[in-house]
Structure 1
Amino acid sequence: MIDKLELLLALAKERHFGRAAEVCGVTQPTMSTGLKQLEEILGVMLVQRGSRFQGFTPEGERALDWARRIVGDARAMRDEINGLKHQLSGEIRIAAIPTVLGMVAQLTTPFRAKHPEVRFRIQSTTSSEVLGLLENLEVDAGLTYIENEPIGKVRTIPLYNESYRLLTAPDGMFGDRETVTWKEVGQVPLCLLTPDMQNRRIIDRALRSVGAEATPTLTSNSLLVLFTHVKTGRWASVMPAKLAETLGLSDTVRSIPITDPDVNYSIGMVIPQRDPMTPLIAALVNVAREVAPSLQL
């Protein structure tokens, strides 16, 4: 039964029979047979078939919800039993929004000191993608905003509050100030993340709240692109304070707190709402709680 549910999950992810079969390491006829057997067991049609994948029936969508829970629990059971026999090992997959990538090492490094046999795979995604990957069992944990937009049925572990800074050259607009207001930031030509990023939506909302609008001269989905432009001393941007601290500032860049209003958003870890947690995730949660106080600016 578990192997057939794994086929269903692979099809939900790939939306293509051939690719799903390849991911599962089976032939396409074996894939089709397994799905039909699952339908016979449940007594309903799960997949809308044609010359290509056309989606799931309403019963199939509901079966997917159960499949995620059952397969997740089965994997957790295997991990827990293996953890009882051996030192913690394996891979932890984490999806993180771009603005937190600079602090991931503050979480993974102390974890590795305690559990040296564990590997990590970190991928950068949008906040909505974090939740989708978590739901589909493609990652084990996410690092994202936890109070700003709906995050679904997940368990949250708060890490720190994100505040914002204007990064600009000392001789740039407002570069000689100790603080700057959001209304003043609206007068600065900025390089910013693209609108699909939640950080950009936060900045846009803060500016609109004081009757201002962002006027980006450059946009990118990469913070590295933004930061390298700012470091030239010829560009300005708005970035989280912790990210600016982690990346490090040169003589050509100042990090100026933005006030009026003060804007703060909670960053945290999200994990599936499942009990018991796997040994790996339980250990990750413990480390996250230990390091959280040190992450506050």
Structure 2
Amino acid sequence: MIDKLEFFIALAREEHFGRAAEICGVTQPTLSAAIKQLEDQLGVMLVKRGSRFQGLTAEGDQVLVWARRIVGDAHAMREEMRAARHGLSGRIRIAAIPTALAMMPRLTTPFREKHPGVTFSIMSRTSIEILSLLGNFEIDAGITYLDNEPLGRVTSVPLYHERYQLITSAGNPLAEREKVTWKEVSRLPLCLLTPDMQNRRIIDQHLAEAGVQMRPTLESNSMIVLFSHIRTGKWSSIMPLTLTETLGFAEPIRAIPIVEPDASHIVGLVVGPRLPHTPLVSGLLDEARALARFFQRER
């Protein structure tokens, strides 16, 4: 039954029989037969029939909720038994907002030093995608904003406050200032994250609070693209203090605090609300709490 439920979850996610079969490591006829057997066992149609995938039935949507819960519990049980026998091991899947990626080693490195059998898969995703992946059991944890947009039902650990700085070249007229205002920053040629990123929505929000509108000269969902343009000396950007401290910008780049308002937002770890947590997730929560205490001592 568990295998059939896993096939069904993959089909609902991929919305394509061939791709779902490939991900599950079986042939398409094998996956199709398993879905049909699951329908026969439950006595309902789960998938709208046609020459290709056409969506789930109403009953399919209901079964999908149960399937994710049952498969998640089965994986948690296997993980707990493995931890009891051999100690903590396995892969932790984490999705993080782009501005938090540079901070990740401060979480993963000490965790793996304590548990050498653990490996990590880390992805860059928007805050909305993180919550969706978490709800679909496609990741074990996320790093995202905790206090700006609704999170739904999650367990969270606040890690640090994200404050904002102007990142610009030494030749910029504002480069020698100790602080700048959001209004002053809005007049510069800026390269920023794309509007689907919550960091960008936060920046737009604080610019609006300062009574200004701004249209960036470049947008990207990649921090590497932003960094490379800043280094040309022709673009500036707005980035979190934690990110600039981690990257350690050197000459000729300046990082200047932005005030009026002196804004901050909480970034933290989120995991699903289900209890008990798997041993890997429990261990990650403990490590996140230790990191949060470190950040608090630094403030």
Q: What band does the TM-score fall into relative to the shorter chain?
A: over 0.9
Shift of 1:19: 1.2
Give, in angstroms, the shift of residue 96 of structure 1: 0.8
Q: Distance in 2 between matches of 1:83 and 1:285?
A: 16
SS in 2 for 1:215: coil
Secondary structure of the residue aligned to 1:121 is strand
CA shift at 1:14, angstroms? 0.9
Contact 1:91 1:120 survives alignment (8 Å): yes
Question: 1:160–1:267: 8 Å Cα contact kept in structure 2?
Answer: yes
Distance 2:133 2:287 in 1: 22
**SS state at 2:64 partner:** helix
2:211 maps to which residue?
A: 211
Cα deviation code 1:46-98 (max 9, x no counterpart): 11111000111111111111111111111000000110000211111111110
Aligned to 2:134: 134
Distance 1:113 1:295 in 2: 20
Deviation readout 1:11-38 (Å, 9 max, x if unpaired)? 0111101111121122222212211222
SS at match of 2:3: helix
Matched ranges for 1:20-35 at <5 A: 20-35=20-35
Aligned positions, number: 297
State the distance in 1 between where 2:90 and 2:159 align.
Answer: 24
Q: Match for residue 287 of structure 2?
A: 287
Instruction: Provide the rounded CA distance (Å) in 2 between the counterparts of 1:94 and 1:47.
Output: 30
Is there any run of 5+ residues in structure 1 with no aligned partner, and where?
none
Shift of 1:231: 2.7
Q: Distance in 2 between matches of 1:12 and 1:286?
A: 33
Shift of 1:228: 2.3
TM-score, with normalisation over the residues of structure 1?
A: 0.96
Mapped to 2, the partners of 1:27 and 1:145 lie a distance apart of 40
Counterpart contact for 1:95–1:142, Cα < 8 Å = yes
- 1:157 corresponding residue in structure 2: 157
What TM-score do the two structures reach when normalised by structure 2? 0.95
1:190-211 C-alpha deviation (Å, 9 max, x unpaired):
1111111111111111111222
1:79 aligned partner: 79
**Deviation beyond 4 Å, 4+ runs, structure 1:** none
What does residue 39 of structure 1 align with? 39
Matched, 1:170 2:178: no
Query: 1:273 is matched with which residue?
Result: 273
Cα distance, 1:232 vs structure 2: 3.3
- Counterpart-to-counterpart distance in 2, 1:39 and 1:52: 17
Unaligned stretches of 5+ residues in structure 2: none
- Could you say which residue in structure 2 is the equivalent of 1:117? 117
In 2, Cα distance between equivalents of 1:207 and 1:117: 46
Tell me what 2:192 maps to.
192
Aligned counterparts of 1:234 and 1:252: Cα–Cα separation in 2: 12
Q: Does 1:59 align with 2:59?
A: yes
Q: Which position in structure 1 is the counterpart of 2:104?
A: 104
| In structure 2, distance between residues paired with 1:142 and 1:88 | 20
What SS does the aligned partner of 1:74 have? helix
Amino acid at match of 1:17: F
